[in-house]
Amino acid sequence: MNLPEAVVEVSGLHVAFGPAGSAVEVVRGVDFSVGRGEAVGLVGESGSGKSMTALGIMRLLPRGSRVAAGSVRLNGCSLHGLSDREMSSVRGRDISMIFQDPLTSLNPAFTIGRQLTDAIRTHQAIGRNAALDRAAELLALVGIAGPRARLAAYPHEFSGGMRQRVAIAIAVACQPKLLIADEPTTALDVTVQAQVVELLALLREELGIAILFISHNLDLVAEICDRVMVMYAGEIVEANSVHALFRNPRHPYTQQLLRCIPRLSDGRGELPTIPGAPPRFGARPDSCAFAPRCDYVHERCWHTAPPVRADAGSRVACWLASP
């Protein structure tokens, strides 16, 4: 499989949380890359570390957490050597992010015209009127009717779906190479979710932006992404093209997860589930984190962490795949 040229490469990323003596690793050695114009999905449940991975890439980690090891490269240059000021100019111009709750990701005290023009003028030296024109164009691009008039509106005058569209407009204002979408539709109604997903697909086509789509919903990710990575307890346990992952899941967690998703086409009866729960206080580095819940667990899984088997475009971290 011919992978497009990489925009962002993450290697060996470790993110730790807590004071230095008793830190818990929430992201334990994550490797992946996102190519130009690609849509890559990152799927995981609570405690999988997917959001922390994204925040680690953006260097927006919350207080008390930090990147413990690894590197993030944007077009070949490492992001971790950059000063805060240099990193600020990368955010928005090269890599953008949208978040789950549109209520809190827009500032309620400013009009959306102001927030859009702020985003535009941070990275481009253009006048206020030119910025307003561009802002109206962006609103039209994301499907908001009457864009010129809406520039003067405040976030609370919009519904959740429209606020998320505005957040997307702000994120793509300077045509970044990568847009990280962290659970962008989780807080939205399902009919509105479909609209936002369609919008993201459209923007990818028109602007050539690569998208890293983070979600807990594997079906949703499959609708718009070309490649999918599944995370569990801070590691990527399987990564593959969408078709290959759904047709032939190799990691037991992926298999069981696919079985658990309730689908309209299913019959009636008990819902499949994975017994137990994801580890809450950090996993041990010398065993497979999924062992307590795995259907296929055997002796080796408890003593040694499984190796990562990487083929062309796919990876699996399981003893079953690397006997």
Partner 1 sequence: MTGVQEQIGRRPDRPAIWARLPALLGGATGCAGGVLVLFVVVCALLAPLIAPHSPVAIDLQHKLAAPDARFWFGTDQAGRDVLSRVIWGARPSLQVGLVAVVIGTIGGVALGLVAGFYSGGWFEQAVMRALDAMAAVPLLVWAIAIVGIVGVDPVLIGPFAFGNEIKVMALLGLLYIPGLARLTYTSALVECQSDYVAARRLQGVGGWRIMLGDVLPNCLSPVIVQATLLVAVGIIIEAAISFVGLGVQPPTPSWGTMLAEARNYLFSGEWWLSLFPGLAISLTVIAFNLLGDGLRDVLDPRRNTAVFTT
Partner 2 sequence: MTPDPFPDVLSPGTPLLQLRNVTKIYQLRSALWDRLHRRRATLAAVGGVSLAVDAGDILGVVGESGSGKSTLGKIVVRLIRPTEGAVLYRGVDVSAQDGRALLPYRQRVQMIFQDTHSSLNPRKRVGRLLAEALAANGMKRDSRHGEAARLLRLVGLDQVVETRYPHELSGGQRQRVGIARSLCMRPELLVADEPVSALDVSLQGQIINLLTRLRAELGLTMIFISHDLAVVGRICTRIAVMYAGRIVEIGRPEDLMAAPVHPYTRALIDAVPKGLDGRAHRRKPLAGAPPAPGETVTGCPFRSRCPEAMAICVSQMPDKVRLSPDHDVVCHLATRGECV
Min separation Cβ 247 and partner 2, Å: 8
Q: How many residues bind partner 2 (CB under 8 A)?
A: 45
Q: Which member of 71, 88, 217, 255 binds partner 2 (CB under 8 A)?
A: 217
* Cβ at position 112, least distance to partner 2 in Å: 17
Q: Kindly state the smallest distance separating residue 154's Cβ from partner 1, in Å.
A: 25
Binding-site string for partner 1 from residue 283 to residue 322, where x marks contact by CB under 8 A and - marks none: ---------xx-----------------------------
- 152/277 with CB nearer partner 1: 277
Do 1 and 313 contact (CB within 8 A), yes or no?
Answer: yes
Residue 159 near partner 2 by CB under 8 A: yes
Structure tokens at 91: 């955010």
Beta strand segments in 20-122, E = 24-35, 39-43, 65-74, 77-78, 95-98
Q: Decide whether 276 or 307 has the Cβ nearer to partner 2.
A: 276
**Closest of 280, 227, 229 to residue 257, by C-alpha:** 229
- What whole-number distance in Å separates Cα of residue 5 and Cα of residue 38? 10
Q: Does 280 bind partner 1 (CB under 8 A)?
A: yes
Distance CA 128, CA 134 (A): 10
Nearer to partner 2, 232 or 319 (CB): 232
Going along the chain, which residue ranges are E strands?
Answer: 6-17, 24-35, 39-43, 65-74, 77-78, 95-98, 178-182, 210-215, 227-232, 235-241, 308-311, 314-317
**Alpha carbons 245 and 43: distance in angstroms, whole number:** 12
- 292 binding partner (options partner 1, partner 2, none; Cβ < 5 to 8 Å by kind): partner 1
Looking at the Cβ atoms of 8 and 52, the one nearer to partner 1 is 52
Give least dist CB 262 to partner 1, A.
19
d(CA 168, CA 213): 13
**In angstroms, what is the minimal distance from the CB of 238 to partner 2?**
15
Name the strands in the sheet holding 65-74, side by side, starting at the edge strand that comes first in the sequence: 24-35, 6-17, 65-74, 77-78
CA–CA gap between residue 101 and residue 33 (Å, rounded): 26
Q: Does 73 bind partner 2 (CB under 8 A)?
A: no
Q: Note whether 30 and 39 are within 8 A (CB).
A: no
Judging by beta carbons within 10 Å of its beta carbon (0-12, 13-18, 19+), is residue 37 exposed, middle or buried?
middle
89 or 159: CB nearest partner 2? 159
Amino acid at 19: P
Distance CA 136, CA 286 (A): 54
Given partner 1, partner 2, none, residue 128, with its beta carbon under 5 to 8 Å by kind, binds: none
The residue (of 76 and 269) whose beta carbon lies closer to partner 1 is 269
**Which member of 76, 281, 299, 323 binds partner 1 (CB under 8 A)?**
281
Binders of partner 1: how many residues, by CB under 8 A? 7
Q: Footprint of partner 1 on this chain (CB under 8 A)?
A: 275-277, 280-281, 292-293
Q: Footprint of partner 2 on this chain (CB under 8 A)?
A: 45-46, 159-162, 189-195, 197-198, 216-220, 222-223, 242-243, 246-247, 256-257, 260-264, 266, 268-275, 277-278, 280
